[in-house]
Structures are given as structure tokens and as C-alpha cells.
Amino acid sequence: MANWKRLEQLNGGDRISYSDPWLDTKNEVWFFAESYQLRVWSDGVLHKHDEKADALTAPISGRFTLYKQRESLFVDVELRGDQAVIRRGVLNGHFLSTLVAPSEVEPLLARYRALGFRDGFPWNATKTLATRREYVKADIARWSVEVHGNVLKQEVHENTPAESREAAIALAEKRIRAKEKTGFKLYRIELVTSEHPNPEPIPAKGAPERKPLPKRALVAKPKNAYEAVDAAIAMLKDLHERIPTAHFVTECLDPKKDRARVASVESSAAFFLRMHKARVGRWAKAKPRKPKKNESSWDYFANEYGSITWILDGAADEGLQMFYCGNVTGGGWSCLEIDSDSDYSLDDQVEVTGNEELEELFVFHGGWHQDRSWAFDRRVSSPAGEHAVIPFSDTLEKLPRPMKPERIVPFGLWLYKRVAALTKVAEKNLRELS
């Protein structure tokens, strides 16, 4: 919990909003005043919004933008004549503007690079994330502008292709200039998924070097459904260990050593750990073995591993179908939750639909409240004791036609394919944040 008395002191003794600071280091703190206006305390100086920065009308001759993507923070600079407007703020949220001399810009950018902000372009943070700038006029009119590759996008839906990305940016700046002349002011900066590829930002000279992340461990292609279970678990363990930020696999956690890691992803760490107490560290002694006689790949998973509870930071979920574990805020933001001890009850669904066939389902995967769940159809089984995996939601009324036993895909192969696809997307997201 934040030190509220310290924050009030940094705010010149004025009251604050009792919420955790967005950035909190020895020499740099971003927090909200009682009025929910952003304050930045930097090297002993308290910065508040300067209305003179809003009134500056000189043409923009240059821009610089740094992003701290996981924390949803940005530093945005506009060079305007003999002054520079510095905006520090929260993506899709509040920011404050101040004025400095152009000679002060580079030292200021260097300061924020040292604090973990990364160089981006003013119109994109990464190859896949474009920057949206939203403007307002006297709270009665709004206008937004983005650049996706060589396409200028206005008002979200109006696309204007240009000869090049540079031409699209020049057109965006021209439109901004025209809007500012009619009274529009910048209101919000946010990141959106780009519809066209953007150039990858290059770190500035002298910026702190990023440590290269280890390469993915080689996992042998499984020869059967049992090896497929082991391979899926190995991929998740590998990603958990190689990239120890912005995500975790609950079953891989050390309940004593990894509490800070949980807190860095889940704001209610204590609640999360209590809720999933039986799953925390569950794989510590689990390892591949020979399947027992008449043991299906699901039984093998249940007996050896028991569950999968993969939790990701909201900044790392691009391209993944996410849901709250257990349909509970604080239960974990997940794209993969499998529970061999699932106690999901279908009684209400059977009663509402009058379809008693629903009783033949075993819901083993979370996300049922978001149409992102999976269940076993136990009406038919294969010779190896496998059941068909079908999509499930709590609004399902009718089951699909029973699958022929010989066409049933074993759980282990389904799991391997799914984990391979999810980890590929998640690793790309996590590398951008690490």
C-alpha cells in the first residue's frame, strides 16, 4: 500500500486521491490529487498542468514519444517554435502538460529512458500498436486521428490511403493543425491495434540496452496423446521461467518466493492466492511418466498435473481470448484455465433448457461466462476412453451431433495444439513488454 502521508508531502501538503501511484520511484512519482488531476513529482519539483501549454499555437516542428506500455504510461513531446510541450500521462487517461525550452528535451527524454520508458514513434509504439490522438473542442465536439502503416484514420472509421507512411503522417499533422486553428485541443492519447504494419521503433543512442531474452526451449514433437500432455506442460513451464514478467503459471509458483510476481500481475494477490491455494505450486513434483493401464490422456493429465491456471497482465493479452477465472474479478485474467476437479454444475442449465442431454457434459475449462469454455461430451467415448472436446458456454441449449468414436481427438493432442497456439501469441506480447 502506498504511503499516503508521503504523497501528500510531495503534493505540497494538499490532499490526494487515495489510489496507488502510477509510477513510484525514489526521484519520480506520478499520482493523483484529490481532484483526480495528475501530478508528477520529479527530482524535487512538483509539476501540475500548465494551461499556457494548451494555449501554445505555434506549428509543430517535431515530436518525440516514449511509452511504458505495461504500466500504460507515456511521455509525449511537441516542439513548437522556441518552446516544447511536455505531456506526461496515462494512456487512455489523464495527462498533464508543461512547457520547457527545446534544449531541455533531450535530457528529459534520457531521464525517462532510464526509468524504463521506451522510444516509440509518435504514431506507433510497436509494430502492432498504433497511437490514437483524440481532440476535443469546448466539450461539444470530438475528433480522433491515427496512422496505420500508410493509412490515415480519422474518427475511427474514415480511412485515407497515402503514397507512403511519411505522407500519411504529414497529412495527419496537417489535419491536426487545421483542427487546432478551430479550437480543438488534445484530450487523450491511447494505443490501438494497428490494421497495417508499422516500423519497429529503434532505441535512441545511449538508451539503456534491453537484455536479450533466452530462446524458447526445444520441446520434442509428441508421438502420442500422453506425450502431448507432457509437451504442453513443458511449453508453459518454459515460458513461465524464461519470461518472468507480466504473466505466470500458478502451478509453477513458489508460494513464498513468488508473491511479488503475483502482485505485479494481480492487484489482489492475497485473494488470488487464497482462491487458488490448491493449484499454487502444484507441478513442483509432477513429471512425465508412463501411462497406467486404461488411463486416458485426460486421466493422465488429471492424475499427474491436475490443473492449468495461466494468468496474464492485461497489457499482454493482445490477440488472446481472455476471461476471469471462476467468473470472479481477482480470480485471474486468463486465456487457459483447466481444472480436473471442476465442480461446474449444469443443473440450472438443464432446468432452464429442459435438455437433459446437457448432463452428459463435463466442463473442464474456464470462460463459460464469455463463450470461451470447453467441455467433454461424455455421450460417446473412443476405445482409449477419450471424450470429444466441444465449445461450451452457460447459454448452450443444444449439443452437437455425437462424434463417431474413431474420430474423437484425444484430450492430450487438443491440449498440445491449443497451448502451442496460445504461447506463440503470448510470447510475442510478452517480449514487447520485457
- pLDDT of residue 1 exceeding 70, the answer is no
Contact assessment for residue 171 and residue 162, using Cβ atoms and an 8 Å cutoff: yes
How many Cα neighbours within 13 Å face the side chain of 155? 7
Query: Per-residue pLDDT tens for 351-363?
Result: 999 999 999 999 9
Q: Are 86 and 97 in contact (CB under 8 A)?
A: yes
**Rounded to whole angstroms, how far apart are CA atoms 399 and 258?**
42
pLDDT at 213: 79
Is the per-residue pLDDT at 216 higher than 90? no
Distance CA 101, CA 80 (A): 10
b/e for 238-277, b at 16 or more Cβ within 10 A?
bbbeebeebbbbbbbbeeeebeebbebbbeebeebbebbe
For cell 509458483, name the residue: 253
pLDDT mean across residues, the chain: 94
- State which amino acid sits at residue 281: G
Query: Residue 207: which pLDDT band, with cuts at 50, 70 and 90?
Result: confident
Q: Is the confidence at residue 324, as pLDDT, over 80?
A: yes
Over residues 325-352, the pLDDT tens digits come to: 999 999 999 999 999 999 999 999 999 9
Report the C-alpha gap between 135 and 139 in whole angstroms.
10
User: Rounded mean pLDDT of 86-101?
Assistant: 96
- Strands of the 151-154 sheet, one edge to the other: 158-161, 151-154, 141-148, 129-137, 185-193
Q: Percentage of the chain surpassing pLDDT 70?
A: 100
pLDDT score at 211: 78
pLDDT higher than threshold 90 for residue 289: yes
Rounded to 5 degrees, φ, ψ at 52 are -65, -30
Give the H/E segment covering residue 374. Answer: strand 373-381
In whole angstroms, what is the distance from residue 207 CA to residue 218 CA?
32
Residue 16 neighbours by CB distance under 10 Å: 22
pLDDT at position 432 over 90: no
**In the predicted model, is pLDDT for residue 46 greater than 80?**
yes
C-alpha cell recorded at residue 174 = 496537417
What tens digit of pLDDT does each residue of 35-45 get?
Answer: 889 999 999 99
Residue 350's region, left for phi above 0, alpha for psi from -120 to 50, else beta, is alpha
Q: Is the pLDDT of residue 239 over 70?
A: yes
Q: pLDDT value at position 28?
A: 97
